[in-house]
Structure 1
């Protein structure tokens, strides 16, 4: 594709992002205006559906990341054997380990957040009630997570655009010609974290308003089935 074509694609994705960013405000609307009446029921239903979409995407990429971990172990083992047993060093294999390592952590960032697997300095959170935890999660998402995601997207925009414009590859002649794809993981990770943050804030909003998503509802949302 030409430079002008990629510019149009980038502009279209940017506008799509702005047009859909209002979704992130729905949990805030739920907290401010409540979930009573027909409007509240519709909003709760919409939040539940969006939570399902967000968690399915992140869980699917988290499942993929597990296999990237297996591939990473295999590639590193091959690199070590090649270098120390056969005296051979292949740049593409070494760079492949870097790509797999980056993909493993960056694609699994959202699912790890949903599973509460990120490092937490927990002095008070574990002792809070369900509503206290929900309030902490809600404030944390809007005060810290979303601004960080916005910063990652804003700072990486030109950085990634330049890489795609020239199809940036490895500085080594025998390296992988996929640096542009590696750099694209930065905005992708920001989007996955924002989606995970939406799920956390939406669940927190429903809990704060006394209408949390129950375990059986979560199972039905993920499996697409209903219990009698």
Structure 2
């Protein structure tokens, strides 16, 4: 299921960014080869996983759950560092632009190009995302919790600038919204596994461990995973969908001198869906471990290994 999700995201990129046909024309037509290639992208990973499972029948469920926890942690960490780097750099660019300092710093031609959302997205944001992916691999810890402090700092500088220096620009408020959205959407998966979501346990608290595992297993498969797939399917159904459209056209806010990050906030929904799905699947595997008389990943309600750990040690 997790592998299929990542294949789906990659195929979505090929279809809407590079014009690939998708799996529909596999029965004929000029694009049949590409269609078969994309279909193979779904079939081969699933077949490989089935073969691996059959050859490793004694492998405990907790090992696979720990692997999914690690994948989730890495996805969230990479997303956090991306929003951190992009927020800082885009904020500086927007400040220089609104003050008319971009030509003096970067030259007239580059200053004009930095005012185009597609140019800034490809040549500024994308390299920062790649750098964030590298940093996330080597970093340890729950870095996304620093987003709470960053939101406070961003709000505080608005208060200081506005009420002391009578200075306020659109990019300052955009930065707060950018980090605020990231905080809640990126933290959701960790909050799930840490048991931090607000809930009223009228019955669940009194269940035995086995019954709790059964509830978690059925809830993850029947409620959690379908919800995440619904977000991805609806958000990426076509070019005009709520996730694809902003990403395709590098959508920005109506304020010409704000941050050029509105399209990334649509991408936050995809990060949320993917991280929650892998977390639900890990939750399911831990529950199955309990039902099979195995030990769940340790600790039971927190990631069992960090994202940069070797998979052989998960």
TM surpasses 0.5? yes
Q: In the alignment, does 2:67 pair up with 1:53?
A: yes
CA apart distance, 1:38: 7.2
The answer as to whether partners of 1:163 and 1:183 remain within 8 angstroms in 2 is yes
Q: 1:196 aligned to 279, 287, 296, which one?
A: 279
Task: Mark the runs of 5 or more structure 2 residues left unpaired by the alignment.
Answer: 1-13, 24-37, 78-141
Q: 1:40 aligned to 57, 63, 88, which one?
A: 57
CA apart distance, 1:86: 2.1
The answer as to whether partners of 1:75 and 1:96 remain within 8 angstroms in 2 is yes
Instruction: Please name the residue that 1:175 is paired with.
Output: 258
Q: 1:90 aligned to 155, 169, 177, which one?
A: 169
Please give the residue correspondences for 1:154-173 in structure 2 after superposition, counting only pairs within 5 Å. Answer: 154-157=233-236, 158-173=241-256
How many pairs were matched up?
210
Which has more radius of gyration? 2
The answer as to whether partners of 1:110 and 1:193 remain within 8 angstroms in 2 is yes
In structure 1, what is the Cα distance between the partners aligned to 2:282 and 2:58?
Answer: 18
Q: Go from structure 1 to structure 2 and tell me whether the alpha carbon gap of 1:75 and 1:205 turns closer, same or farther (over 3 Å shift).
A: same
Q: 1:73 aligned to 152, 155, 158, which one?
A: 152
In structure 2, what is the Cα distance between the partners aligned to 1:203 and 1:113?
Answer: 14
The answer as to whether partners of 2:193 and 2:279 remain within 8 angstroms in 1 is yes
Structure-2-length-normalised TM-score: 0.58
Structure-1-length-normalised TM-score: 0.77
Please give the residue correspondences for 1:97-116 in structure 2 after superposition, counting only pairs within 5 Å. Answer: 97-116=176-195
CA apart distance, 1:10: 10
Give the SS at the match of 2:58: helix
The answer as to whether partners of 1:58 and 1:108 remain within 8 angstroms in 2 is no
Task: Mark the runs of 5 or more structure 1 residues left unpaired by the alignment.
Answer: 27-34
CA apart distance, 1:193: 0.3
CA apart distance, 1:81: 1.5
Q: Cα RMSD between the aligned structures?
A: 3.6
